[in-house]
Structure 1
């Protein structure tokens, strides 16, 4: 039980059970596995976060002179990375080196110890108080794919390994901490846990961490809900002792419990656990028809959710969930919430919390699977407030939309993407000219080479651009480094314009304006008056007119570049189509040439036997075709026969003492034949797997047991009557009366 009664000044109150007096078994427990600081991966693609662009925050360095620590991105900050479960890295961003949002990378674990529980084996307890929402430990292990996961489930079951340490990282990636892992593997299950698991983006990988769900007292056991992301081969009794305990872990009970969405997803979708459980209770009888048993999310439940527009507090939760979501149904619902949001302030917040980058990744992930969702995203992008091109360019979403526009066949999608590109094309870059660049008319600005990004505590916290040298740029263009996007940008000082892509041409400057000499004014005495306010205003107007002319020239140049790009893409497309057509004509020509040679050969043969040979050829082709078809059927039949033959004899071998070796062989043949016929009937085009999974094997065991039970009844009845003519054939004949195999 997690609750006991404590007396304080005569009052009785509830509190957690504490295990501080239990012996520390940490060193003993470490001998049962290999401790690793980070996950190992079966291949490079496993555990990918899908975020290939660096996710940078807007925070700035904040060095504490006393502790010499960078306090940027701490708990009290509004760091957009921290809000969306993304860790900052030293290589990118303006928050500086070693900020406070690097807990996975720095292994900033809570103080914990392993102890021996009464019923659950080892457990993990807090050695110091752990505040609410604190990072406790990373769950590390071997990251494997689904095929390896299924095999290991069976292997561990056969080896009678009682404790399982699997956790799903993605739909196709699982963490196995059975042989290699961290102390987090000793966290036990509870139906009323004090911690939870959460996925974080760290660089290009997803990593799983355990976080405090509430304040955890010193000596209290750390637990989380296995039914969210952890799996076992067979169901096991639950010993958590909570009032809401579901009694079992694994098997159907765990599958039902796992249908409830993880905390982060349910909050992002705006639903409560009470709503989820009520829906599951009302629709439990339909579970098998709704989805596969292996699914970790109830698709029918997700589709039944009616979402609402985002409010200010929902933004970070929704964008964080969207960034890590691997399920299309959940992604659709999250996008729907953003789509329904019309408040310009909320949409501005979405843009700030990696909005463009996140939607860019969603489009890349779903564009071939859900065109309607892509359309909805483009409509969202068209609604978002637009003032500058900065975030659009740095997120590279423009390239994604250009690719859609160039390759899509759907007219509506093409129109939406084209309108969006035109709208973005009219936006200007917002930039700051480096402080050491003079805006005067004389002299060339001085440049210095970009220095290292890491700053010491004593250095200025300025976020000014850093100038860079580049003598190969066209006349008038200069380059600087933008700390916000971690990219160089190019600006034309005289024209007051900038761009992210490297310029290749000199910007036309237009006619030079003559120097304006304001007319002299005279007073009543004929003396000239000094230049006044009106003269300055006149000069400013002239400067504004010249600036507008230059901007117009620049826009014309950009439009020409855009059209040229479109022509290049069109030319490439036409060239590819032409090559495809030429290849098609070449193949047709070769085919005709073969037919012509074949006709020539036939004409050379003697006429008297042409008819008979044609008949033979036709018969041979027909037989060959039928033979190939039969060969394919036999091939599939042989595969299934071989598969079942590997299992069936062992499953019924225990009956050999009762019915004899010959009868067992006959029963095995009959069982293999029957099972093969049923599989070919249900799945005529499906190849047999290399081995049976645990669910299938269980059904085969039950079928074989039922078959042998009926066979034994017949067999014993005959022998009780002591028929002298009872033979092996009788036993085999009885095997023809088979029990019905349940459909999967």
Structure 2
């Protein structure tokens, strides 16, 4: 090799390395503190010392889908007669499915299944800071002032909201879909309302996990990019009733239950009102409720904050008087 060759070695690269645009666009998720259980920034709801188990008891030897408590989305309490190995345990004690973060084409970060998941199986608990509506409004206003368009808010009733903006787990990255493969359920756990994601259908490893946000608007309509064939176009749009949807359970609860006692939250009065479901209209997907004070109204229960009158519901199930059917004459 000549001196000239040593001073001028061959150029192995004639141009800079070209990084694909898709790689350039990847942005790390906003930092947050990982937690396993909800962190309350407001006082928890007090339980009556005379009703520590919320009126819920089961006598199962092995708690399965027929467990009285599980049917009502209530964790088995210390007064239940089931074994210590009871499977109807608090959400934070259940085995979380293997999940991994993954970049989506249009919806930022999402969550993919790290294993096959069967329909009905528990996926993950949605956790965050539990705040009231006042704190929620203040946080939303501050986020909007900073130009933030992503919200991690989940209303759990009783004037409380789970906010996973600053503290949470992988569930905060799960995206919305108008045709989701999971459903968000509310569970009563020793007087506390918890929320968990359960598979609506079989989910294959590598498939994105999604659920219907039932989005509450904080300003202008936000376009939906879920890509479902029946996409509603905007996150604020409510699902249209159809025969398939009406045949399913809403948040794990039978949708057309005539004669059952419920408690409906009235935001203006900031309290629950008790009443009885007396009818169901298949065309409007509305339940007719007669309240104890004599007033009545028809409601789309998906759009309301409500709960079963659990003590009376338990009595009805135990006595086998549960009567669920469509009422065409609403």
Query: One fold, TM greater than 0.5?
Result: yes
**SS state at 2:137 partner:** helix
Q: Does 1:83 align with 2:26?
A: no
Among residues 63, 68, 73, which one is paired with 2:63 in the alignment?
A: 73
Correspondence for 1:43? 42
Structure 1 residues 237 and 146 mapped into 2: Cα distance closer, same or farther (>3 Å)? same
Structure 1 residues 186 and 265 mapped into 2: Cα distance closer, same or farther (>3 Å)? closer
Among residues 133, 139, 142, which one is paired with 1:155 in the alignment?
A: 142
Q: Does 1:245 align with 2:226?
A: no
What is the CA–CA distance in structure 2 between the aligned matches of 1:326 and 1:100, rounded to whole Å?
31
- Check the 8 A contact 2:40/2:129 in 1, yes or no: yes
- Check the 8 A contact 1:57/1:80 in 2, yes or no: yes
What is the CA–CA distance in structure 1 between the aligned matches of 2:186 and 2:118, rounded to whole Å?
19
Correspondence for 2:186? 199
Q: Does 1:59 align with 2:60?
A: yes
How far the C-alpha of 1:268 sits from its partner, in A, is 3.7
What is the CA–CA distance in structure 2 between the aligned matches of 1:118 and 1:48, rounded to whole Å?
46
What is the CA–CA distance in structure 2 between the aligned matches of 1:87 and 1:151, rounded to whole Å?
33
The 5-angstrom pairing of residues 160-175 of structure 1 reads: 160-175=147-162
The 5-angstrom pairing of residues 411-490 of structure 1 reads: none
Structure with the largest fraction of strand: 2
- Check the 8 A contact 1:198/1:211 in 2, yes or no: yes
What is the CA–CA distance in structure 2 between the aligned matches of 1:234 and 1:47, rounded to whole Å?
37
**SS state at 1:236 partner:** coil
- Check the 8 A contact 2:32/2:168 in 1, yes or no: yes
Correspondence for 2:165? 178
Correspondence for 1:332? 275
What is the CA–CA distance in structure 2 between the aligned matches of 1:85 and 1:100, rounded to whole Å?
13
Structure 1 residues 308 and 95 mapped into 2: Cα distance closer, same or farther (>3 Å)? closer
Structure 1 residues 46 and 166 mapped into 2: Cα distance closer, same or farther (>3 Å)? farther
Correspondence for 1:541? none
Q: Does 1:141 align with 2:128?
A: yes
- The Cα offsets for residues 115-171 of structure 1, whole Å up to 9 and x where unpaired, read as 111111110111111111111111111111111111111111111112111111115
How far the C-alpha of 1:210 sits from its partner, in A, is 0.8
Structure with the largest fraction of helix: 1
How far the C-alpha of 1:201 sits from its partner, in A, is 0.5
Structure 2: gaps spanning 5 or more residues: 1-22, 280-289, 296-308, 320-330
Structure 1 residues 147 and 109 mapped into 2: Cα distance closer, same or farther (>3 Å)? same
Task: Tell me how many residue pairs correspond in the alignment.
Answer: 257
- Check the 8 A contact 2:52/2:190 in 1, yes or no: no
Kindly indicate whether structure 1 or structure 2 has the higher relative contact order, using CA contacts under 8 Å at least 6 residues apart.
2
Instruction: Answer with 1 or 2: which has the greater Rg.
Output: 1
What is the CA–CA distance in structure 2 between the aligned matches of 1:142 and 1:115, rounded to whole Å?
24
**SS state at 2:204 partner:** coil
What is the CA–CA distance in structure 1 between the aligned matches of 2:46 and 2:145, rounded to whole Å?
28
- For normalisation by structure 2, the TM-score amounts to 0.66
Correspondence for 1:741? none
Structure 1 residues 97 and 83 mapped into 2: Cα distance closer, same or farther (>3 Å)? same
Correspondence for 2:284? none
- The Cα offsets for residues 538-567 of structure 1, whole Å up to 9 and x where unpaired, read as xxxxxxxxxxxxxxxxxxxxxxxxxxxxxx
What is the CA–CA distance in structure 2 between the aligned matches of 1:47 and 1:121, rounded to whole Å?
39
Structure 1: gaps spanning 5 or more residues: 1-22, 61-71, 271-306, 310-317, 338-365, 388-744
How far the C-alpha of 1:59 sits from its partner, in A, is 1.1
- The Cα offsets for residues 433-464 of structure 1, whole Å up to 9 and x where unpaired, read as xxxxxxxxxxxxxxxxxxxxxxxxxxxxxxxx
- Check the 8 A contact 1:113/1:125 in 2, yes or no: yes
Structure 1 residues 263 and 155 mapped into 2: Cα distance closer, same or farther (>3 Å)? farther
- The Cα offsets for residues 66-95 of structure 1, whole Å up to 9 and x where unpaired, read as xxxxxx2134xx210111111114x33211
Q: Over aligned residues, Cα RMSD in angstroms?
A: 4.0
